[in-house]
Amino acid sequence: MKKTFALLLTAVMMLALLTACGGGDKPADTTPPADTSAPADTSAPADTAEPEAPAAGGNIGVCIYKFDDAFMTTYRNALEAILKEKGYEVTVVDGNNDQAKQNEQINTFITQGVDALIINPVMTSAADTIIATVKSAGIPTVLINREPTADQMAAYDKLVYVGCDAAQSGTFQGELILETPNGGDINGDGKISYIMIQGDPENIDAQLRTEYSVKALTDAGVEVEQLNLTRGDWDREKGQTICANDLAQFGDKIEVVFCNNDDMAIGALQAIQSAGRKVNEDIYLVGVDALDAALNEVSNGNMTGTVLNDANGQAAGAVAEMEKLLGGATYASGEQSVYVDYVKVTPDNVGDFMK
């Protein structure tokens, strides 16, 4: 009996030993080397640099300074289309050019628990309030079209601005004039006499376009004479009225009409035509935005040129930066502005931009 038990015990021990040896060999034989050599954090540096957006969309609030701005209509339509195509729930609201109303809209979005905000401020002077509000709520935010200062944006690291460098657009306007056959000096008196129809002077884009369009001329060694500068608030009817008044006052002395945007330029064109003047013959006219209506006028020879303010490119950029924020990205002070280049549009290349 003892012998039998001993034999059984020996057999059990041998079987256990064989099983143990087999178990030790099996993982080494069946686990591919790639699995053991690819730790989960191998992609961490790339993820840190370019965080990925959540896979399944989210709720996005979009604040536009006013819906009846021609350029911002193009912009918001592009923005909404891109967001919806990506699967986001989108609500777009009209600030009606009222900063107090827009502040309420931002607070409402925060109360509703949106995942991110895209804001086109009514007033850049309200940037501190807007930034403090979204920071307090911890909402990732993209500002568009109207750029705060770098110091203002530095207050919140989940904030980024996407737009264009307005100084570039002004420079391009001046270059369009310099590239005309007589360099803008139609009457040959050695200087360019101009009127400036400005947007909202509180807006940094209006300030820089006004400054740099003329700076491009003076940097080229050209003498200039400002006959008048009037605020037109980006509005077509105001552009027409301002230009008509200036034409009545200064007449043929006006060689160049600078407009901070195309809507005002189209209004100015109506005044120029009513006064019996001919663009590109006895007066030059330039705008900014490359709206469809302006492209048609450039093509028809009724505008000297315009500057493409790429609404579609900016909308795509705004969504891309928003998705980085949703993926966990933060922005260091001085690195919170993302720019899309402007493009000069002339009769020679206008066909490239027409639909």
Q: Which is nearest to 283 in space by CA: 271, 294, 300, 295?
A: 271
Cβ burial, residue 131 (10 Å; 0-12/13-18/19+): buried
Looking at residues 10-16, what average pLDDT do you find?
A: 36
What is the C-alpha to C-alpha distance for residues 49 and 42, in angstroms, rounded to an integer?
Answer: 13
Q: Which is nearest to 318 in space by CA: 80, 96, 148, 69?
A: 80
- pLDDT above 80 (res 20): no
Quickly state the pLDDT bin for 236 (edges 50, 70, 90).
very high
pLDDT of residue 50: 46
Exposed e or buried b for every residue in 144-174, given b needs 16+ CB within 10 A?
bbbbbeeebbbebbbbbbbbbbbbbbbbbbb
- pLDDT above 50 (res 332): yes
User: Tokens 């264009």 appear where?
Assistant: 164
- pLDDT above 50 (res 269): yes
Quickly state the pLDDT bin for 42 (edges 50, 70, 90).
very low
Quickly state the pLDDT bin for 163 (edges 50, 70, 90).
very high
Structure tokens that stand for 191 in this block: 């200087």
First to last CA, the chain: 100
Quickly state the pLDDT bin for 355 (edges 50, 70, 90).
confident
Within the chain, what is the greatest distance between any pair of CA atoms? 130
Give CA angle at 155 (105, 50), nearest 5°: 90
Rg (CA), the chain: 31
* Dihedral (Cα; 141, 144, 147, 150), 10-degree rounding: 30
pLDDT of residue 202: 87
DSSP secondary-structure letter at 120? -
- pLDDT above 50 (res 18): no
pLDDT for 69-96, tens place per residue?
999 999 999 999 999 999 999 999 999 9
pLDDT of residue 204: 87
Q: Which is nearest to 195 in space by CA: 237, 238, 249, 246?
A: 246
In sequence order, the 6+-apart residues with CB closer than 8 A to the CB of 330 are 157, 158
Structure tokens that stand for 247 in this block: 């034409």
In sequence order, the 6+-apart residues with CB closer than 8 A to the CB of 223 are 190, 191, 192
Report which secondary-structure segment, H or E, holds 223.
strand 223-231
Percent of the chain at pLDDT above 90? 82
Average pLDDT, the chain: 87
In order, the DSSP letters of 32-69 are -HHHHT--GGGGHHHHHHSPPPPTT--EEEEEES-TT-
C-alpha 27, offset from chain centre: 54
- Return the SS3 of 203: coil
Structure tokens that stand for 349 in this block: 């290349």
What is the C-alpha to C-alpha distance for residues 252 and 187, in angstroms, rounded to an integer?
Answer: 9
pLDDT of residue 254: 98
pLDDT of residue 248: 98
* Dihedral (Cα; 180, 182, 188, 190), 10-degree rounding: 80
pLDDT of residue 37: 34
- pLDDT above 60 (res 177): yes
What is the C-alpha to C-alpha distance for residues 64 and 119, in angstroms, rounded to an integer?
Answer: 6
